[in-house]
Structure 1
Amino acid sequence: MMKYFKNINKFKFPLLLAVICLFQSCSDFLEQEPGTQTSINEQLSTKQGVLTALNGLYRELEQNVKSEAFVVYADLQGGNLKFAPSVTTSTTVGSIGVPSSVELLYNFDDLANDSDLASFYSNSYDIINQANLILEFTDALKDATANEKSQIKAEALTARAYSHFLLSELYSQNYGFTDDASHKGIVYMTKSITDGIQYPARETASNTYDLIISDLKGALNLYSDTVLLNGYSYSYFNKNNAKALLSRVYLSKKDWKNAYDTADDVITNSGVSLVSSANYIAEWKKPDLPVSEILLEFSIPRNQEGASSGSMAAFFGYSSNSIYGKYVASLDLLNLYETGDIRRELYTNHPLTTSVNLEAKTLDYYFTEKFQGNPGYVAFRLSEQYLIRAEAALELNNTDQAVKDLNTIRTRANATVFQNSESLRDAIFLERRKELSFEGYFLFDIARNKKDVSRNDGCVSFSCSLTYPSPKFILPIPRRNINLNTNLKQNESY
């Protein structure tokens, strides 16, 4: 993987010049296009150039999903996270405040003019544009084999589907918000901007999901198991994690049969096994490698000397009382774990000096061990597939399978097996909250299940709850995009 990094910046400039049409003034874009087009043609005329582009796409994806506001969004909004105090110095006592990078969205008051996730929106469409360019140039490669071309297109299609899916979760109400999913989805881009200036309208949610699924099915028909880039195989899209994404999309769509079948396929045929109970804590605490049940991790890039940067520990880690992340587990989450649940061991208490009503007090803060050391962004792992199959099985009236999958996760965690006195639907919902905490699911699970947000422990917002349905379950489209594209309609209340 290293040998491609040095070429990323050389390739990315013309891509950014092209994608600028989406986000800034494009009045002179067509005049610049001939020179820009020549540069893109030169870059993408060889297999080496396309692989450099593909590696650049992965690098930007990794940076985008590991941006602070996105990393914490679903867990913070849902109530799994609260804030650690500022570092105490000789003259100050640690105070609790909302980090500026999430201040607006945390209060359910994000602004179209200055959105906390504006860069995520623009970077996502930049990634999509890069994927489209790769797709448009790959077939003409004269120095690539048929299998290599198929694999390139499969990975680009999966990246395009994944980026659109993440955008839909942030900017479009959940699929079941309207009975026929006729509410606003997102803009779905299937052509690069080298084709000319585009002013697309938003698809419906129904059409958005159809396009995502079409891209993923197309990718699955193209995967050839050819290795394109150097590095860990779990850092790149492949047939297994593309199926894992597809099962998540089907779950979000509430297409229960396809969600069940696709998750079952991953569980049965991926060759990946659940981490054992005995190894669960140790696997998460490994400093550099992901848990063994990983299906896709956007790994930290390293330089020629092996040094890395951008660890998830920057947000969630603890090194000392003067070096720690901003986000810790709330008691709303921690109190859900039974006494013997080994997952509770992933949250370690570090008492910190905190200013409370102008007095210095020592309070307990629980930092997660999931992201210590140098971890990358966990995009897909096998535990999620069991919980997807459980939820889908329940909706298909296959209660025995739903209970079996739920208990597979519970037993591994040394938690009690499902009791008949419990609501199975609520039990699966809460198991997802416990098992997938800090991994970016919770708010979307709340919305899919049409539940309310209730944040108690550590909430320092004017709005600690949110009743479903609400326009505040999604974010505003950045104003500059609305101003440039008259066909792009803003979300309600923004």
Structure 2
Amino acid sequence: MTKRYMQHLYQSMLLAALCCLLGGCTKGFLEKEPVGRISKDQVFREMDGVRAAMNGTYNRMAFYYTGEFMMYPDIAGDDVHLNTTGGSSDIGLALFDEHNFQSLPESEELAVGHIWLHIFAAMNNANNIINSIAGLKTMYPDRRGELDSLHGQSLVLRALCHFDLSRAYAQHYTYTADASHWGVPVLLKTPGPGEQVPRKTMRQTYDQVIKDLEDAVALLKQHTSRSAFAANHIAAWGLLSRVYLYKEDWDKAILCADSVIRLGGYALTPASSYGDMYMSGTPGREVIFQLYARKGAAQSIAGSLSAIYSSNAFQAYAASQLYNLYDAGDVRKTMFRNSGGKQYTLKYARRDGANLDWPMDPKICRLSEVYLNRAEALWRKGRYAEAALDLQEIAQRAHPESTITIVYNDAADLLGQIEAERRRELCFEGHRLFDISRRKQSVQRGGDCTAVKCGLSYPNPRFILPIPSKELDANKAMQPNPIIN
């Protein structure tokens, strides 16, 4: 980690924690307030301090998810087009370089630098909580249950940070047969200023992600929470089903998905409430974990998921090949609005006329994704009938006026249906490019593409972001990603 970055990350961590102590976390997540001089050690010697730091960590997670990270895999994939004019103003569009596969290491003030920095800011918050738990248990033996819960939640968030970082800056797990290619730095504590930190292999990166999630399950099963805004052991299982899917460990992906579906106590949100799950600010029945990220109606939401995707002045909209995947009876088709012949998503919009905060809450784990994870893993194991039943669950919810039966000509046809259903269900939720690359497919954007480059053949260095140049300049242990013209 660079000295400059680590100083920035440390300051971000402290500000996030202290803003909660001063009541700042009751306001919009992008707001900042001046704080007094309180040392990190003071924050993590008190229960109120570690509670505030937990809130601050969720705050930092929401910050990077509602910024470039959650938009990157969709805007750089084939489901989303940018609302270009063909003029010089296009360069100001969100993730313009990523959409055109032109990201550069020097782009620290754009997505390349922001995603890197903001994920590490959240990770350092989580690490500081994790590393304070043992001392706090000694000082507060009567609070061991609460501290175990804070520990488990922080492990989930740290795992998610490492996983997200690897998805953005490293080739997918099976890019090499033994996952020996570069992953990302694995940080279990905040490095000192100027400390040289190398990358781990992708195998080592995933080993830590999986360990953190499994350790979190053990802690959080004893201290359950049903709040969608706090990571619980069901969320850890759900994320493990995704991680194992990416890893192509089909048996464990199925096992973890089974745990969520059979033991989690969640149910798919009814079709009649599907829009409310996104636009009302109230989690649907299927939302296992989401982040709280609201802005009041009178406050700026520039650069957020809502501004880029769901406002009347949207910068990005659905590609025709995505929109055309929905039939007329699909309730998910109601989650689009037409403006000038372009379809923009309502997943980060507000109910018209509602006097509410703008509910941009990113969905980190939904039961529908877990069903789709299991369906794909079951297919890979040759358990086609079971995979079709999982697919049917999602398709039936989307078509409440019809009786859905999954019919397929052969195994390849069924896999195509599973992949298409995943696109329909999870679009605009930060999955598409990662799904394309892990399947070793190419990006093909279709005839309505207006980008500089409308396709990307697999394999290609442009499937991932470059490591920021300032990191490389100051941290000589950091291995760069290859760049091609």
After TM superposition, the score normalised by the length of structure 1 is 0.82
Match of 1:245 in 2: 239
CA gap of 1:285–1:180, structure 2 versus 1, over 3 A, is closer
For residues 383-416 of structure 1, give each alpha carbon's deviation from its aligned partner in whole angstroms, at most 9, with x where no partner exists: 0000001011111221111010011111222285
1:482–1:489: 8 Å Cα contact kept in structure 2?
yes
Match of 2:50 in 1: 50
Equivalent residue of 1:489, what SS?
coil
In structure 2, which of residues 120, 128, 132 is the aligned counterpart of residue 137 of structure 1?
Answer: 132
Query: CA–CA distance in 2 between the matches of 1:442 and 1:471?
Result: 17
2:179–2:203: 8 Å Cα contact kept in structure 1?
yes
CA gap of 1:284–1:235, structure 2 versus 1, over 3 A, is closer
Query: CA–CA distance in 1 between the matches of 2:421 and 2:465?
Result: 27
CA gap of 1:10–1:65, structure 2 versus 1, over 3 A, is closer
Q: C-alpha displacement at 1:239, in angstroms?
A: 1.0
2:323 is the counterpart of 1:334 = yes
Match of 1:60 in 2: 60
* One-letter code aligned to 1:107: N
* One-letter code aligned to 1:273: A
Query: CA–CA distance in 2 between the matches of 1:218 and 1:308?
Result: 39
After TM superposition, the score normalised by the length of structure 2 is 0.83
Query: CA–CA distance in 2 between the matches of 1:301 and 1:460?
Result: 32
Q: C-alpha displacement at 1:99, in angstroms?
A: 3.8
* One-letter code aligned to 1:240: I
Sequence identity percentage: 31
2:16–2:53: 8 Å Cα contact kept in structure 1?
no
Q: C-alpha displacement at 1:471, in angstroms?
A: 0.7
Q: In structure 1, list runs of 5 or more residues that go unmatched.
A: 1-6, 14-35, 87-92, 352-363
CA gap of 1:308–1:145, structure 2 versus 1, over 3 A, is farther
In structure 1, which of residues 252, 268, 271 is the aligned counterpart of residue 265 of structure 2?
Answer: 271
2:337–2:346: 8 Å Cα contact kept in structure 1?
yes
1:82–1:330: 8 Å Cα contact kept in structure 2?
yes
Query: CA–CA distance in 2 between the matches of 1:197 and 1:54?
Result: 26
Match of 2:23 in 1: none
Q: C-alpha displacement at 1:418, in angstroms?
A: 2.6
Q: C-alpha displacement at 1:260, in angstroms?
A: 0.4
Match of 2:15 in 1: 9
Equivalent residue of 1:349, what SS?
strand
Query: CA–CA distance in 2 between the matches of 1:95 and 1:479?
Result: 26
* One-letter code aligned to 1:164: H
2:74–2:430: 8 Å Cα contact kept in structure 1?
yes
Match of 2:151 in 1: 153
Q: C-alpha displacement at 1:192, in angstroms?
A: 2.1
Match of 1:103 in 2: 96
1:330–1:457: 8 Å Cα contact kept in structure 2?
no
Equivalent residue of 1:212, what SS?
helix
2:105 is the counterpart of 1:112 = yes
Query: CA–CA distance in 1 between the matches of 2:293 and 2:204?
Result: 34
Query: CA–CA distance in 2 between the matches of 1:181 and 1:396?
Result: 21
Match of 2:482 in 1: 492
2:127–2:190: 8 Å Cα contact kept in structure 1?
yes
Match of 1:259 in 2: 253
CA gap of 1:243–1:285, structure 2 versus 1, over 3 A, is closer
* One-letter code aligned to 2:166: S
1:301–1:308: 8 Å Cα contact kept in structure 2?
no
Query: CA–CA distance in 1 between the matches of 2:16 and 2:83?
Result: 40
Alignment of 1:99-248 (within 5 A): 99-115=92-108, 116-117=110-111, 118-141=113-136, 142-143=139-140, 145-193=143-191, 197-223=194-220, 226=223, 233-248=227-242
Q: In structure 2, list runs of 5 or more residues that go unmatched.
A: 1-12, 20-36, 351-357
In structure 1, which of residues 434, 455, 459 is the aligned counterpart of residue 445 of structure 2?
Answer: 455
- Stretch moving more, 246-255 or 185-194: 185-194
Q: C-alpha displacement at 1:309, in angstroms?
A: 6.6
- Larger Cα-atom Rg: 1
* One-letter code aligned to 1:234: A
Alignment of 1:13-32 (within 5 A): none
For residues 186-212 of structure 1, give each alpha carbon's deviation from its aligned partner in whole angstroms, at most 9, with x where no partner exists: 110012235x75312211111111111
2:94–2:315: 8 Å Cα contact kept in structure 1?
no
For residues 49-73 of structure 1, give each alpha carbon's deviation from its aligned partner in whole angstroms, at most 9, with x where no partner exists: 1111111111111111111x32321
2:80–2:319: 8 Å Cα contact kept in structure 1?
yes
Equivalent residue of 2:280, what SS?
coil
- State how many pairs are aligned: 435
Query: CA–CA distance in 2 between the matches of 1:299 and 1:66?
Result: 10
1:301–1:309: 8 Å Cα contact kept in structure 2?
no
